Amino acid sequence: MPEPLGQEIAALWGEYLDGCEVGPDDDFFALGGNSLIGIKIIDRVSRDYGVELSVRAFYLAQTPARVAGLIEQGRART
């Protein structure tokens, strides 16, 4: 997983988490993430990166770095 993609996803999360600073290894739930915010992020990631990201996969990933890895896996399948 390229590091820049993890940083991009972290910045995207920050937009939805009241502008807080998010690092690639920060935990979604520890940052105050909830199901409504998660669904908004999943929708944005799917739209912006052209991959399908399931709710379950997103919540199991929990960090921007791991979500970036899922994006890379999704791109590899297409």
What is the per-residue pLDDT across 2-19, written as a single tens digit (0 to 9) for each?
A: 479 999 999 999 999 998
Mapping DSSP to helix (H, G, I), strand (E, B) and coil, where does residue 50 land?
coil
The answer to whether residue 31 scores a pLDDT higher than 80 is yes
Q: Of 37, 32, 76, whose CA–CA distance to 55 is shortest? A: 37
Arithmetic mean of pLDDT over the chain = 92
Domains in the chain: ranges and CATH = 3-73 (1.10.1200.10)
CA atoms within 13 A on the CB side of 72: 14
Confidence band for 1, pLDDT divided at 50, 70 and 90:
very low
Mapping DSSP to helix (H, G, I), strand (E, B) and coil, where does residue 36 land?
helix
